[in-house]
A = this chain, B = another copy of it.
Amino acid sequence: MSDGLTLLSENKCFGGTQQRYSHYSKYLNSEAIFSVFMPPVSTPTVGVVLWLSGLTCNDQNFVTKAGAQRVAAELGLIIVCPDTSPRGEGVANDEAYDLGQGAGFYVDATERPWSDHFKMFSYINIELIDIIKERFSDGKKVAISGHSMGGHGALISALKATEHYISVSAFAPIVNPVACPWGQKALAAYLGENEEAWREYDACELLNMRSAAFTLPILIDQGASDEFLDTQCLTKPIESASNLGLIDIRYQNGYDHSYFFVSSFIEDHLRFHAEHLSAM
């Protein structure tokens, strides 16, 4: 394609099309892959949901496991799923599952060896958003959602790049990464030891730093039996964050951190976003 996208695969799904693309990303300084679900051409498109995945995931986990295409096809939602980090030869990595490839944490790294490629915040909120608007959404608006590390990514994207998004939702998000082991490890590696820099990528800290209420609608689902609730997701700090506007936090009894949880409630999130997107 003339816009630099290469179509890797295309599968008909619920009358729409599940697509996968590769392209050269200038922010990631490498090839990047993302997936797109396009609803049936017969369904009027109401907008885009940009989905950010969690640790160890790539662009495929949500596509194959969440069961989102059915409702997206019904509502006329485009769903875009990027990878969770740069990848490939020459890209720094770590043996741990929670650092490096598959664990970009949606920040722009400033520290070596990560700073050559790990610019996920700019990739998502500048480069990919531009591709979505130019290539897929026909000017329609964008909502953002994600799971775990991707829930963190969705919240900080909405808080820092507010102009791009209509609504934000998250499943078991890491709401306060400066205060949990996953966040502390990643932020120290990518941003260095100065914790002031970490606060710029922490949803609770960003809310508390704001001078006015954050007015985008927020929906958060958190499994009450999530094995990471008390140690990594935390959740409580966002309930008490300052300058919160429209937020709905739901604890779901018996649900854990898995895609069985995400798939059970993705329909609610897509309907939430479609409502706000179609009201624009």
Contacts and interface: CB of A to CB of B under 8 A. Distances in A.
A256 B12 contact: yes
A260 B67 contact: no
A64 interface: yes
Nearest to A11: B260
Number of copies: 2
B260 A12 contact: yes
Contact of A256 (B11, B69, B261, B263): B11
A65 interface: yes
Interface string A139-175: 0000000000000000000000000000000000000
A63 to B, nearest CB: 9
A163 to B, nearest CB: 34
A254 interface: yes
A36 to B, nearest CB: 13
A209 to B, nearest CB: 36
Nearest to A224: B12
A232 to B, nearest CB: 18
A263 B65 CA distance: 10
A258 B11 contact: yes
A255 interface: yes
Nearest to A14: B264
A42 to B, nearest CB: 13
Contacts of A263: 13-14, 67, 69-70
Interface in A94-122: none
Contacts of A64: 64-65, 259
Given A65-B65, A67-B67, A264 B225 contact: no
A84 B255 CA distance: 29
B67 A12 contact: no
A67 B13 CA distance: 12
Closest 3 CB pairs of A and B: A67-B67, A13-B260, A11-B260
Given A11-B256, A69-B263, A70-B263, 17 more contacts: A11-B258, A12-B223, A12-B254, A12-B255, A12-B256, A13-B260, A13-B263, A13-B264, A15-B264, A18-B260, A64-B65, A64-B259, A67-B67, A67-B70, A67-B263, A69-B260, A70-B264
16 contacts: A11-B256, A11-B258, A11-B261, A12-B223, A12-B255, A12-B256, A12-B264, A13-B260, A15-B264, A64-B64, A64-B65, A64-B259, A67-B67, A69-B264, A70-B263, A70-B264
Interface of A: 11-15, 18, 64-65, 67, 69-70, 223, 225, 254-256, 258-261, 263-264, 267
